[in-house]
């Protein structure tokens, strides 16, 4: 009964957000509190208690919810808050100093007028970077450069956001850091994960290119894009990005050449010097302030700090709600309630495997049971202990449907930041990308059936 009520809360919350009746900013904490109210008090025992003891028990449950779900949940993602706030300060500094506008202008001039070629190049570059990078800080660092360039060549904001998210997810498939949950919970060696992840990444690339081709042709702003020409143009664009763009930026009037290094300094510090994203952003702010020379201005730095905080305030508030929801989902009462239900629907044949996970794939959204970073971590352990499915098949199912979460989930912190940066909503991203992400999940499940059944 409790499991069904929890799933009903998920369904109701998702429906209210999807239909725009309730903003996700409010839906997440409300879902967290509703789930906690169901799971924390022992309702069966309360019914048999005397009235005074019942009130005392309810008081203790309320304290636990306020402390462990609301209070601790609001602070759970504090490192992510700090990272995006400081990252936003750098983004505002680059924009107000003129660095971003100059890079975007030069990129647009050098790359020509083919959005497909530029989009494909950016997709490949982002995917390559995120085979080793990870975390919101890296996403902010890369997105601050990539997203304005995409929009500068005529790619609509919703498509720029989606292309960037496809690239992140594509690289994430091959990132060994993301395989740790399967190694720890299912006792799989990394080679087993790699054998499935490599062809899944190939399927992901095909899906992403299909998204580019179809969606750019659908959009009025990019309807005339030339697909074959853009595909053949990618090597030239990569050469321009690596060689010609830095030279042109260095010789552009109005800004010292060193100022442009502010945009890439966080990436360099994180990837080559082992910095954490937050101090890398702070170092970039200090470097940019010094590099402006005679243009140096305390007022500009102060404005960047203030505007950076205000720019990401909605994202910070949403992450507070997300932390509350995660705390509620990780409560032992929730896990124990859902375990029997999940075991009851565990498939044992290839057909059952494909149909079950294909239909249930959207449960990877909103930190649901198939989301490895939500309830899915517990689900992995439950399915593994049941021994009704090969451990590699469990890994393949969660990695496949996880692409829906990685690309489309409105509760992803990176989706929240990307949506805010491009001026769209997480709902817009969900609607635009879900058909493609679901198709990728189905392809991955079919591959798993061939490999493990």
| pLDDT at 187 exceeding the cut of 60 | yes
Residue appearing with tokens 């079919």? 446
Residues 30/432, Cβ–Cβ less than 8 Å: no
Residues 376/329, Cβ–Cβ less than 8 Å: no
Burial of 349 (0-12, 13-18, 19+ CB in 10 A): exposed
First to last CA, the chain: 33
Angle ∠(63,372,328) on CA atoms, nearest 5: 10
Is residue 217 a part of any domain in this protein?
A: yes
Is residue 373 a part of any domain in this protein?
A: no
Contacts of 97 (CB under 8 A, 6+ apart): 255, 259, 262, 288, 292, 295, 300
pLDDT of the residue at 107? 62
**Residue among 145, 128, 415, 124 nearest 260 (CA):** 145
pLDDT of the residue at 452? 92
pLDDT of the residue at 106? 66
62 vs 49: which has the higher pLDDT: 62
Is residue 12 a part of any domain in this protein?
A: no
**Residue among 191, 188, 149 nearest 167 (CA):** 149
pLDDT tens for 344-402 read 777 878 999 999 999 989 888 887 778 776 556 556 656 765 567 888 998 999 999 99
Is residue 72 a part of any domain in this protein?
A: no
What are the percentages of helix, strand and coil residues in the chain, rounded to 5?
85, 0, 15
Is residue 1 a part of any domain in this protein?
A: no
Is residue 207 a part of any domain in this protein?
A: yes
pLDDT of the residue at 160? 96
What percentage of the chain carries pLDDT values higher than 90? 26
Mean pLDDT of 225-237: 61
Is residue 425 a part of any domain in this protein?
A: no
pLDDT of the residue at 444? 97
Count of the separate structural domains present in the chain = 1
Is residue 130 a part of any domain in this protein?
A: yes
**Residue among 281, 239, 255, 243 nearest 102 (CA):** 255
| pLDDT at 57 exceeding the cut of 70 | yes
- Regarding pTM above 0.85, the answer is no
Which tokens hold the place of 74?
A: 């609001």
Q: Which domain holds residue 175?
A: 79-179+190-314
Question: What is the overall mean pLDDT for the chain?
Answer: 82
DSSP 189-222: -HHHHHHHHHHHHHHHHHHHHHHHHHHHHHSGGG
Residue appearing with tokens 């817009």? 428
How many angstroms separate the CA atoms of 88 and 80, rounded? 12
DSSP 154-201: T--HHHHHHHHHHHHHHHHHT-GGGGHHHHHHH---HHHHHHHHHHHH
């Amino acid at each position: 009964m409790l499991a069904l009520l929890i799933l009903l809360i998920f369904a109701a919350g998702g429906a209210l957000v999807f239909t725009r009746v309730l903003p996700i900013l409010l839906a997440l904490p409300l879902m967290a509190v509703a789930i906690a109210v169901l799971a924390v008090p022992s309702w069966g025992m309360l019914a048999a208690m005397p009235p005074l003891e019942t009130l005392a028990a309810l008081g203790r449950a309320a304290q636990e919810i306020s402390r462990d779900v609301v209070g601790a949940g609001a602070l759970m993602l504090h490192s992510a808050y700090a990272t995006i706030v400081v990252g936003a300060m750098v983004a505002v500094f680059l924009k107000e100093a003129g660095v971003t506008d100059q890079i975007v202008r030069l990129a647009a001039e050098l790359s020509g007028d083919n959005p497909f070629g530029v989009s494909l190049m950016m997709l490949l570059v982002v995917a390559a970077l995120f085979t080793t990078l990870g975390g919101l800080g890296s996403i902010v660092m890369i997105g601050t450069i990539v997203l304005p360039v995409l929009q500068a060549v005529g790619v609509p904001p919703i498509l720029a956001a989606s292309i960037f998210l496809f690239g992140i997810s594509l690289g994430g498939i091959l990132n060994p850091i993301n395989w740790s949950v399967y190694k720890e919970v299912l006792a799989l060696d990394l080679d087993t994960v790699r054998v499935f992840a490599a062809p899944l990444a190939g399927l992901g690339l095909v899906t992403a290119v299909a998204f580019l081709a179809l969606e750019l042709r659908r959009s009025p702003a990019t309807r005339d894009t030339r697909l074959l020409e853009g595909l053949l143009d990618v090597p030239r664009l990569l050469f321009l990005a690596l060689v010609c763009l830095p030279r042109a930026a260095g010789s552009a009037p109005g800004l010292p050449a060193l100022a442009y290094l502010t945009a890439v300094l966080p990436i360099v510090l994180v990837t080559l010097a082992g910095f954490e994203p937050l101090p890398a952003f702070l170092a970039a702010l200090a470097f940019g302030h010094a590099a402006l020379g005679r243009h140096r201005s305390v007022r500009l730095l102060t404005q960047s700090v203030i505007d950076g905080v205000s720019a990401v305030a909605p994202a910070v508030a949403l992450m507070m709600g997300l932390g509350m929801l995660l705390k509620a989902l990780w409560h032992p009462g929730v896990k124990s309630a859902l375990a029997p239900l999940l075991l009851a629907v565990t498939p044992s044949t290839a057909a059952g495997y494909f149909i079950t996970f294909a239909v249930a794939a959207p449960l990877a959204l909103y930190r649901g049971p198939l989301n490895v970073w939500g309830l899915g971590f517990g689900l992995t352990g439950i399915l593994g202990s049941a021994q009704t499915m090969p451990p590699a098949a469990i890994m393949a199912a969660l990695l496949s449907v996880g692409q829906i979460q990685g690309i489309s989930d409105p509760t992803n912190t990176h989706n929240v930041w990307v949506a805010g940066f491009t001026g769209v909503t997480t709902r817009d991203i969900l609607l635009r990308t879900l058909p493609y992400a679901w198709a990728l999940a189905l392809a991955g499940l079919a591959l798993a059936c061939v490999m493990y059944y």
